[in-house]
Structure 1
Amino acid sequence: MSSDNWTEQDVPDQRGRVAIVTGANTGLGFETARTLAARGAKVVLAVRDAGKGKQAAARIAGDVTVQTLDLTSLDSVRSAAAELREAHPRIDLLINNAGVMYTPKRTTADGFELQFGTNHLGHFALTGLLLDRLLPVPGSRVVTVSSTGHRIRAAIHFDDLQWERAYSRTGAYGQSKLANLMFTYALQRRLARHSTTVATAAHPGVSNTELIRNTPAPLRLPVTWLAPLLTQKPEMGALPTLRAATDPAANGGDYYGPGGMGELRGTPKRVASSPASHDEAVQERLWTVSEELTGVTFPVE
């Protein structure tokens, strides 16, 4: 296995393993699920639209099922987690992939700002509700997909987490993706004391997926023009996630992204996240607030 040119062919045999991938009916999630199924994993596509999930499942060769999951509703997250727990006594991989980007100002069913609620709080709750199915399983991992956006106008705005005073779609996205990384690092600290389960993170660089549809209007045309030069196909964008999920050499707290210039594209390697993402005091405050907002506590406290 080449550490400098890691490809889909380097994904180890996944037979006997159960993988749950959120947002797996399209884009990066679909490619992640497709590859895991091709390597023999039993894959669950956890998606908001069951019909689209079934269409995606029909395009994947292997043992694939569909689970309805709407990350914008904590009721849906709890229902999905209960069904997943009943169906799967053991879970090897939980891949928190689903996300929204640069959305207009909207809130979730629970009143959270849409990007923070979907990208962070929904996955925080789902992970907490499923974690005891991973803890006893050797080699199990929680992989959360972040973004280079965690560096752009990014901070955890504890004084206005839901952007009720003044909304910035870029700032809100940056906050949610920074939260993804802080969650990973705080979770890994807890796991290290209790289990061999590890938490890792990844980012896809700039991939040509449906996420870019909400790019702010001044950027949309340049992004469209430059897309062929700057972006990569979803199957390449999924490689950092797959490496974070399956590379035997990955360690808890590792963060993977494309190895090319600016981490925009290329085969995956370990990359560094921003200094802000490593602030343990902010990580712990975010963890406490996330527990309060979701009502979910973790079995590794």
Structure 2
Amino acid sequence: MNPYEAVRLVELDLRQLVRTVLGSSWLEIARAGGVVDVANLKEKAAVERGRRPAAVVSSDLLDYTDFTQLQNLILKKQWETFAPALGTKRHIETYLSKIAGFRNPTMHARPLLPFEEHLVLGISGEIRNRIAIYRNTKEQSSMYYPVVDLITDNFGNTHDGITNSIIKTGVRLEIGETVTFTCRATDPEDRELHWKLSNNAHGGLDPQIDEATGNEVTLSYTFARADVGERVPLLIHMRSNGEFHRQPGSQGTDVSAMFHYAVNPPRQGK
């Protein structure tokens, strides 16, 4: 992992932590505390929709907060609420201050010195691991299983690891078109994570299965004539290489997410 990825993942994980700790009340808390300007966040979302007309962009205003706003919400307005997840305030203040200081250089491709790179990677790893452990306990899973941070298709449809794992995308595709998923997860014991994507309508006999291993992977599926229909369920499974899993069985699965698509019949003569 490079420093750019480390900083980006910390920011994403902090947003996931806010969702876990505060839920839908985060916006009112942040607004009342003067952390965010709701009108400004809505404007950012509108600008994003305008710039990406071919994508389903996020409607969650939390995704449009910046790193400083996340810092202020966690450290200045709601520390007692976040302390069980992050530990000692003095340490986290120092860590987030360091990350903030390195954020601009890494986001603009300015190189860091070797010791700075190691510092960023170490801080990122510790913060993300704390968050993963806390999310496991809050989401009523034991501390032995990995958690999904985000699964996103190339149209912008997402599973955030918290809400419903069945996503009805509303996307219509043609035979031969491909959908691509970016998948990211964290394991509290830093185990190897294996991902698999297939069409669940084929009853486990799907000849087109994409697989990958890692904390952040890309999976893809190309729709065929056999997939034509109004509800094509693409299923993503993730499991660690540990002995035990959330969903036991011969294969063993820790996380599942399903994305539904519609595949159009070919036009006459094709």
TM over 0.5, yes or no? no
Q: Which has the larger radius of gyration?
A: 2
TM-score by length of 1: 0.27
Greater share of residues in strand: 2
